Amino acid sequence: MSFKVLLLDGVDPVCANIFKERGIQADQPGKLSPEELNSQISNYDGMVVRSATTVTPELLEKATNMKVIGRAGVGVDNIDIKAATTKGILVMNTPDGNTISTAEHTCGMIIALARNIPTSVATVKNGGWDRKKYMGSEVFGKKLGIVGLGKIGSEVAKRMQSFGMEVFAYDPFTTKEHASDMNIELVDIDELLGNVDFLSVHTPLTEKTKGLVSLKNADKLKKGIRLVNCARGGIYEEADLPKLIDDGIVGGVALDVYSQEPPNEELYKVLEHPGIICTPHLGASTEEAQEKVAEQIASQMSDALENKNYKGSLNGKSISLLTNEEVQPYLQLAEKLGAMAVQLSPEHASSLEFEYSGDCTKFADVLTDGILKGMLSNYVEDSVNLINARYFADERGFSIKEILSSKGKTFNDLVTIRFAEGSEYRSISAAVFGENDYRIVQIDKYGIELRLEGDIILYQNQDMPGMLASVSGALAQQQINIGALGLGRTEKGSNAITALTVDKKLDDTELDVINKLEGIQHVRYVSFS
């Protein structure tokens, strides 16, 4: 069978050469208008894109012969993976191709900040010669903070250690042993912000990372800290950066990514500040990287079209599961349970135990993938899916143990996660109750019923009158409404566990009011929103 592939977004010519060598026709027409793309897409079995083309559900509806879409690079934000999966179309990327280029660009930004290279270059080119004005500082002996110790963050650390920098990192999923092997000290995020001289982020943009540095938390920053972002726009609050620099809180900023690309007029005004170095998303823009990802994606797609190998697939397992309705509820349960587990587990835990009982044991392999996907999705820079979740867990030094029990316990099918020593909560168990109805049924020794949805306050308390009233009263004073309630205890007068689902997302200040109540302990906030 002969295949045809459409190459878009100026992908490196080596891509077409690889396809040709494999006997696959590769057309590279240059830039196509949306109308031209819509009219031609049905002629192709595969398509290669970079970041310029957006693959929408509407485009996929017209891609009647499409079998595989390849992203020559890492990020797949421009591809609707869910829509592609629904239509049975494989989506692939090349997660390793840009690692070195992005790490090197980050290191270059650090040096450029330290030595005022861009501004001094501009001065000399304009006829100036003010050496004192551009006095820099050595990076030797300075402290570098890294948020996210994945592939790129680790490569940055390795290179800057060679410059004599002391490296600290925040990554709740990297074990202390793994970090120690790289001679990196793991610290919490506040300690990182308050102690390092340079900060580089290598994490996705999520609710937790958005605005990681802003005027709101300026008091947490070490005075003069220099900021680098070659990961995702918006991790630093861009509009606040000029004032942070002018007030002497931040010593300089280097950005390669932005909340809007290309920047709008308002953002360009921010970037005019002389204390901000900015490049047009060049992290992966090297000849070597573009050639590497083009070669990799062509080889991967050729293998997939010939049904030889599916390496690099982001949704291959998901596609196979679409035809198995029996596994779907358990997979949804696993991902939700993982999302809760990560918010209860102690940071840098080195081991986890997953137990499956009842009929769901036959899906144990994919359920473990689902739990890990739920745990890692908001913390790993790359796209996490059922295919690569274990890889990212292994990369961070996780040890995972699976236990299968064919006999159901109180519930016919039960999924349990047990945490490592040091956790306030040691285990959580959940079951499927019905369509889109997934519930926690036990936390530690406490039987409790709690739907895995919304925003939840979880705490332990002494089993005595008035405890619930004190918490609900504290919430009422802050205009926070309770939507659902779950209670559990082992016996009268012992400790009890309470879970309250509230109608809004809570910040640390609102949660701190609950923490200060007498008789309340182990307060944890879990959000699915």
Q: Which of 162, 244, 149, 227 is nearest to 193 (CA)?
A: 227
Q: Is 396 within 8 Å of 184 (Cβ atoms)?
A: no
Question: Residue 448: in which H helix or E strand, if any?
Answer: strand 446-451
Closest CA to 244 of 265, 223, 266: 223
Task: Catalytic residue, from 22, 273, 281, 426: name it.
Answer: 281
With both helix axes pointing from N to C terminus, report the angle between 364-376 and 328-344 in degrees, rounded to the nearest 10: 40
Give CA–CA dist 367/364, Å, rounded.
5
Beta strands in 248-398 (DSSP E): 250-255, 276-278, 351-357
In the annotation, is 522 catalytic? no
Is 232 an active-site residue? yes
In 36-165, DSSP assigns E strands to: 46-49, 68-71, 90-93, 143-147
372, HSE (Cβ side, Cα atoms, 13 Å): 30
Q: What DSSP string describes 388-407?
A: THHHHHHHTT-EEEEEEESS
- Alpha-carbon distances, residue 284 vs 96, 256, 269 (angstroms): 11, 10, 25
Neighbouring CB atoms inside 10 A of 172's CB total 18
Q: Which of 232, 396, 418, 439 is catalytic?
A: 232
The Cα–Cα gap between 143 and 161 comes to 10
CA distances to 168, 452, 457, 465, 499 from 447, rounded to whole Å, are: 40, 15, 17, 20, 12
Answer whether 218's CB lies under 8 Å from 249's CB: yes
The H-or-E segment that residue 109 falls in is helix 99-115
In whole angstroms, how far apart are CA 244 and each of 241, 255, 256, 258, 302? 5, 15, 19, 17, 50
> Token match 């280029």: residue?
101
The amino acid that residue 374 corresponds to is: G
Out of 261, 266, 288, 306, the active site residue is 261
How far apart CA 175 and CA 405 sit, in angstroms, is 29
Catalytic residue at 261?
yes
Helix (H) or strand (E) holding 266: helix 265-271
Residue carrying structure tokens 């002391």: 166
CA nearest neighbour of 199 among 34, 69, 191: 191
φ, ψ of residue 457 in degrees (nearest 5): -100, 120
Residues identified as active-site: 232, 261, 281
